[in-house]
Structure 1
């Protein structure tokens, strides 16, 4: 049994906040799409053989980012697990979603928002990072760990995949 890998991916750059559109409905801007494509290509090089699961916040910008990455890694967009609870989530709420992932999954990609994703990375890995838009934290679980046993201070931050 190999080690499991978790990617925490912050959504790409989105439209500015405005009174005309709810925060939840903000879409990616061209610069965000470009950066997401660049980081997705790099992430593709990190993936290893095995079962992949993709979970995304239901907010427009997170779903759009997840779809860009899925196009690059060959993951069917219709198989993205949408989780409303990831929108505006605290790190422990995100961890609750991760802890429910089947042991059959080898690689998990979670698309969401700050500050929750950066705080979760720091909580799991005893790190001090701040994820920028479209960047991915690559987290390695200890040998023998499944996603349901992941908890504070148990994992290693291997790298941040950036453009």
Structure 2
């Protein structure tokens, strides 16, 4: 049995918050989109997209826009992105709880969301200490015998962080 892979991706650089616009509605900037595209292109070399792949995204504009850039680059159907507001401003254990509900046949999962939740989640499951910047992708292998349902603290390994 091949080990399962998790890709945790922080949304691309977003426009500066302004009073007139809800944080949830902020869009990514051109600079952020370009960086997301660059990192998505690097990810193409290490991720296999097939029927055992799932993509999960926060419904906040900047997260779903980032997911669209990555999924277009990776040839993952945009209509198959699972969207949930529960990832937005979520505590890392709440994000983990969502991941734990992934079906058993899923081998590869990409999660698009926000800090501090994503960095905290990565550090919790991998016993690591990283801070994901915008568009950065943590590449994580689950330990043998661990599936998404049983993923918990210290049961995965941070393989690399794709940053540029």
TM-score, with structure 1 as normaliser: 0.98
- 1:49 deviation in Å? 6.0
Q: Distance in 2 between matches of 1:3 and 1:106?
A: 8
Q: Distance in 2 between matches of 1:161 and 1:49?
A: 18
**Aligned partners of 2:49 and 2:74 also within 8 Å:** no
Residues 14, 148 of structure 1: CA spacing in aligned structure 2 closer, same or farther, 3 A cutoff? same
Q: How many residues align?
A: 163
- 1:145 deviation in Å? 1.3
Q: Which runs of 4+ in 1 moved over 2 A?
A: none
Q: Distance in 1 between matches of 2:40 and 2:57?
A: 15
* Structure 1 partner of 2:40: 40
* Structure 2 partner of 1:127: 128
- 1:48 deviation in Å? 3.1
Structure 1 unmatched ranges of 5 or more? none
Bigger CA drift: 49-58 or 75-84? 49-58
Q: CA RMSD in A?
A: 0.8
* Structure 2 partner of 1:68: 69
Q: Distance in 1 between matches of 2:94 and 2:49?
A: 28
TM-score, with structure 2 as normaliser: 0.97
What per-residue deviation string (whole Å, max 9, x for no partner) do you get for residues 49-99 of structure 1?
A: 651100000000000000000001101101100011000000001000100
* Structure 1 partner of 2:24: 24
- 1:162 deviation in Å? 1.4
Q: Distance in 1 between matches of 2:48 and 2:60?
A: 28
Aligned pair 1:81/2:82, yes or no? Answer: yes
Q: Distance in 2 between matches of 1:73 and 1:49?
A: 7
- Specify the SS of the correspondent of 1:147: coil
* Structure 1 partner of 2:115: 114
- Specify the SS of the correspondent of 1:71: helix
- Specify the SS of the correspondent of 1:63: helix
What per-residue deviation string (whole Å, max 9, x for no partner) do you get for residues 76-129 of structure 1?
A: 101100011000000001000100001111100000000000000000011010
